């Protein structure tokens, strides 16, 4: 936490002295490429059976993900070669375009996949929530830098959070994607926390939110709301999270099957491609629950290796954010780091039933074209900043 708070000590108006490195963080590139290739392997392993069962070729999901990955890598390289200061002029367009794309889900362009209306049909499927995550990182990095004094006061903070709440509420209200809505708001919240010299209001607010969430769980756990599962879909999910066995044929089915998959993998796993839970037991195994297939096929060691790679990824982003030559670069990478950290933690927590099922993907590994393209675009932004770091 102290390392993150030190980011705001970066010089704001004056660039740091020293020789510009001029090359991107190669270790970060290697980690990302390894995760991408590993993700493609696991997507094929997890999806081949379901693809054939649906009447497609075994490599159907692999090829679609590979296409998105190639596009994403090209975008990453292109963005990494640009001067990140030029991104600031796209801040407001990024914010407005994000809102427009979310709203378009309500039009005939909106697509329903697996019962959820969260995509747009623009010749290729596009998930506006993924655009919004990258868009909010860019917009609020520029906004905070341009309104630094304003965001030091409570009115400015509340106005900024209101700007963040708008896309979050739209994502939740229009696409019913609570996890993405939380991530969008949390990214901005942590960026403001980093930029502000006074951490007390942020810590108090976060503590109140955690306390409120704990109170809801307590009420549901002790049946203080009659028939909680029937009152609300969200409350029903929490009920299933607390007692998945009681909902084994319904909301708790996916969670239980994922836990069986994790447990059956043991320490060393069954071997790559040898999962049995992916054979129709874990629904959409290549998506949100792919970490359970990793645990089953590669065991505890494989799972820990993946977690270690993500820790290294986040560490490198933290170092870039800390050493960035100005506040805009620091906030840009802080937003990217926060996005990755939140998605990794939430996905693994959901798969292990530490948190209620929220439908969040594991970066670079879960199947999802929109997610891959925009995650790699965010890596490109971080690499662009790393190129401008100066050696002392």
Sequence-distant (≥ 6) Cβ neighbours of residue 70 within 8 angstroms? none
**pLDDT attached to residue 17:** 55
What's the domain range around 271? 2-391
**pLDDT attached to residue 59:** 92
| Cα distances (Å, whole numbers) of residue 218 to 45, 133, 225 | 39, 31, 10
Q: Which residues pair with 112 in a beta bridge?
A: 117
Cβ burial, residue 61 (10 Å; 0-12/13-18/19+): buried
Number of domains in the chain: 1
Sign of CA dihedral 142, 323, 204, 222: positive
Q: What 3-state class would DSSP assign to 19?
A: strand
Sequence-distant (≥ 6) Cβ neighbours of residue 244 within 8 angstroms? 252, 255, 256, 259, 353
Q: List for the chain the helix, strand, coil content (%; round to 5).
A: 70, 5, 25
Q: State phi, psi for 267 to the nearest 5 degrees.
A: -85, -45
Q: Distance (Å, rounded) from C-alpha 311 to C-alpha 42?
A: 20
- Tell me the percentage of the chain whose pLDDT exceeds 90: 49
Mean pLDDT of the chain: 86
pLDDT digits (tens, 9 = 90+) for 126-156: 899 999 999 999 999 999 998 888 887 888 8
- How confident is the model over 76-98, as a mean pLDDT? 94
pLDDT digits (tens, 9 = 90+) for 39-57: 999 999 999 988 998 889 9
């Amino acid at each position: 936490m102290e390392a993150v708070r030190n980011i705001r000590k970066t010089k704001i108006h004056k660039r740091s002295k020293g020789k510009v490195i001029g090359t991107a963080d190669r270790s970060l590139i290697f980690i990302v490429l390894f995760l991408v290739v590993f993700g493609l392997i696991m997507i094929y392993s997890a999806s081949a059976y379901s693809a054939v069962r649906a009447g497609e070729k075994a490599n159907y999901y692999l090829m679609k993900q590979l296409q998105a990955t190639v596009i994403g890598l090209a975008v990453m390289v292109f963005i990494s070669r640009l001067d990140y200061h030029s991104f600031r002029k796209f801040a407001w367009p990024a914010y407005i375009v994000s809102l427009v794309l979310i709203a378009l889900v309500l039009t005939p362009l909106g697509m329903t996949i697996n019962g959820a209306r969260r995509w747009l049909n623009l010749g290729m499927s596009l998930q506006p929530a993924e655009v919004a995550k990258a868009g909010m990182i860019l917009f609020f990095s520029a906004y905070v830098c341009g309104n630094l004094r304003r965001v030091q006061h409570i009115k400015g903070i509340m106005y900024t959070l209101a700007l963040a709440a708008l896309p979050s509420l739209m994502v939740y209200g229009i696409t019913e994607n609570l996890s993405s809505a939380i991530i969008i708001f949390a990214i901005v919240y942590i960026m403001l926390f980093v930029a502000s010299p006074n951490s007390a209001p942020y810590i108090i607010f976060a503590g109140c939110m955690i306390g409120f969430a704990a109170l809801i769980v307590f009420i549901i756990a002790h049946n203080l709301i009659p028939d909680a599962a029937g009152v609300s879909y969200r409350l029903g999910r929490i009920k299933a999270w607390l007692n998945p066995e009681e909902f084994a044929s319904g909301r708790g089915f996916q969670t239980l099957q994922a836990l069986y998959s994790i447990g059956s993998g043991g320490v060393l796993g069954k071997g790559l491609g040898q999962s049995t839970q992916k054979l129709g037991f874990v629904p959409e195994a290549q998506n949100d629950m792919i970490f359970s297939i990793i645990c089953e096929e590669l065991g505890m060691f494989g799972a820990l290796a993946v977690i270690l790679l993500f820790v290294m990824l986040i560490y490198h982003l933290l170092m870039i954010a800390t050493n960035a030559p100005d506040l805009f670069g620091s906030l840009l990478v802080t937003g990217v780091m926060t996005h990755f950290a939140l998605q990794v933690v939430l996905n693994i927590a959901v798969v292990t039933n530490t948190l209620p099922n929220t439908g969040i993907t594991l970066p670079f590994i879960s199947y999802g074209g929109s997610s891959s393209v925009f995650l790699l675009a965010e890596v490109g932004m971080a690499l662009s900043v790393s190129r401008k770091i100066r050696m002392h």
